[in-house]
Amino acid sequence: MAGINLTPQVPVILGQAFVFALAYMLVKRLIMEPYAALRKRRESVTQDVVYDVTGIYSTIEERRLQMKEDREATLAVMQQQREEARQAAYEEAKQIVTKSQQEADDQVASHASKVAELLSQEKPAGVRLAQSLAGDIWQQVLSDSR
């Protein structure tokens, strides 16, 4: 009958352990360590990029807010300047109207005084003319009645 030899063969076990240890070290040095270093560098680069992008976003947001504030300030200044210009134009128009009205009133008063003066000069002539006409008419009536 054939039998199974169950005694451990130490040189075979040591050879297998040596091959396993050699394979483990080769895999660790040639694959695992470079991969771990690469992964660490990638994470570092990713973190740097994320930090840079976060900084860029915060800078953009700060500039956007600053531009918004500048735009609102400029709008307020423009509205104030427009209101001041409108008020100045209103005051100027008011002065022009007042001045024109005063000039018109002065011209009317001047012409009214001239008309009154001319009428006062013509009144005695008109009275004399009326008396003369009345006398002529009276003479005509007297001559017609004879």
**Cα–Cα distance list, 99 to 57, 93, 96 (Å):** 62, 10, 5
Mean pLDDT of 34-50: 92
Calpha distance 128→134 (Å, rounded): 10
Q: Give the integer Cα–Cα distance in Å for 35 and 61.
A: 38
Query: What is the per-residue pLDDT for 37?
Result: 94
User: For the residues 27-44, what does the mean pLDDT come to?
Assistant: 94
Q: Report the pLDDT value the prediction gives residue 28, as an integer from 0 to 100.
A: 95
Q: Is pTM beyond 0.75 here?
A: no
| Nearest-angstrom CA–CA distance, 118 and 120 | 5
Residue 76: per-residue pLDDT: 96
pLDDT score of 112 more than 60: yes
Q: Rounded to whole angstroms, how far apart are CA atoms 114 and 91?
A: 34
Judged against a pLDDT cut of 70, whether residue 1 lies above it is answered with no
Between residues 134 and 60, the one the model is more confident about: 60
Name the least confident of 18-27, 43-52, 85-94.
43-52
pLDDT of residue 11: 92
- State residue 26's pLDDT score: 95
Confidence at residue 146, expressed as pLDDT on a 0 to 100 scale: 63
Average pLDDT, rounded, for the chain: 89
